[in-house]
Amino acid sequence: MAVGSKTSRLAAGAMLALASTPALAANEPSRLDQVVERKVLNICTTGDYRPFSYRPDGANDFVGIDIDLGRSLAKSLDAEAVFIQTKWSNLLADFKSQCDIAMSGISVTLPRQRETFFSEMYLVNGKAPIVRCGDVAKFQTTEAINQPSTRVVVNPGGTNERFARAHLANAQIQLFPDNRVIWREIAEGRADVMVAESVEVKLQEKLHPGLCAVNPDQPLQYGEMGFLLPRGDTVFKAYVDQWLHLTKASGEFGRIFDANMK
């Protein structure tokens, strides 16, 4: 085959691939314009993940870092923040069908990136264990946790479960559906370890005397957090990224973070 012919075929294939990639239609307005027009910003959030998104039983509203940031973003758009509760196993489906953005302490992962856009990263936050304080020395490494005698508890459907399945397959993995009270499983002796984001285990250590985070500043796995955005909508992503940059530069982000870590 001639080189020119091969090159032409490769170029044609690349053009076809680009044409078939889901993106914003030429005549479809950006989600930015839609939000400004409707004056409502629909935000998917789980409500089970302190300090990012939490709604206690019986409460009418959510609290947390991402909740306060969601209200700040909506205010910048002269819109009302409307929070739509989802769960980790349905996060992508609910986001695509109901929401403009998802804000819930969401880890940036390549499988999620294949289906959505992410905002710029707003927090570096790797995986770290939390255990009963008497067991801190016992569970210092992934290898020490990954033993048949270790009971690892995880909330289903998110990156905590994926981490456990990938790195702790020799341990006894127990699924517990309510991430808000999962810590009691360790405190009351029904489980030994949970591996979650370092900022989360630091907070839960404060909230649950007798539980200790294990080396949260030296996590077992590197991680970043960002907001889910509609795939292909570069205009909306640019706006959210600029808002996030200004929120950090002004000190608003730091104040929100500190207030929710108490």
Bridge partners of 165, per DSSP, are: none
Q: What is the CATH number of domain 125-223?
A: 3.40.190.10
The one-letter amino acid code at 60 reads: N
Q: Give the helix/strand (H/E) hosting 61.
A: none
Structural domain boundaries of the chain?
31-122+226-261, 125-223
| 31-122+226-261 and 125-223, same CATH topology | yes
pLDDT of 238 above 80: yes
The string of pLDDT tens digits covering residues 215-237 is 999 999 999 999 999 999 999 99
Read off the pLDDT band of 206 (50, 70, 90). very high
Mean pLDDT calculated for residue range 75-101: 97
Q: Could you give the CA distance from residue 34 to residue 26 in angstroms, rounded to a whole number?
A: 15
pLDDT of 11 above 70: no
- For residue 160, the model assigns a pLDDT of 93
The pairing of beta strand 211-213 with beta strand 127-132: antiparallel
Predicted TM-score (pTM) of this structure: 0.80
The string of pLDDT tens digits covering residues 158-169 is 899 999 999 999
The string of pLDDT tens digits covering residues 177-202 is 998 999 999 999 999 999 999 999 99
- For residue 25, the model assigns a pLDDT of 57
Q: How far is CA 205 from the centre of its chain?
A: 20
- For residue 24, the model assigns a pLDDT of 58
The string of pLDDT tens digits covering residues 102-155 is 999 999 999 999 999 999 999 998 999 999 999 999 999 999 999 999 999 999
- For residue 152, the model assigns a pLDDT of 98
Encoding tokens for residue 192?
A: 């030994």
Q: Give the helix/strand (H/E) hosting 5.
A: helix 3-20
CATH architecture of 31-122+226-261: 3-Layer(aba) Sandwich (3.40)
Q: Give start and end residues of each alpha helix (H) in 139-233.
A: 142-145, 159-167, 183-187, 198-207
What is the percentage of the chain residues whose pLDDT exceeds 90?
84
- Longest alpha-carbon distance in the chain: 72
**59, 45 contact by CB (below 8 A):** no
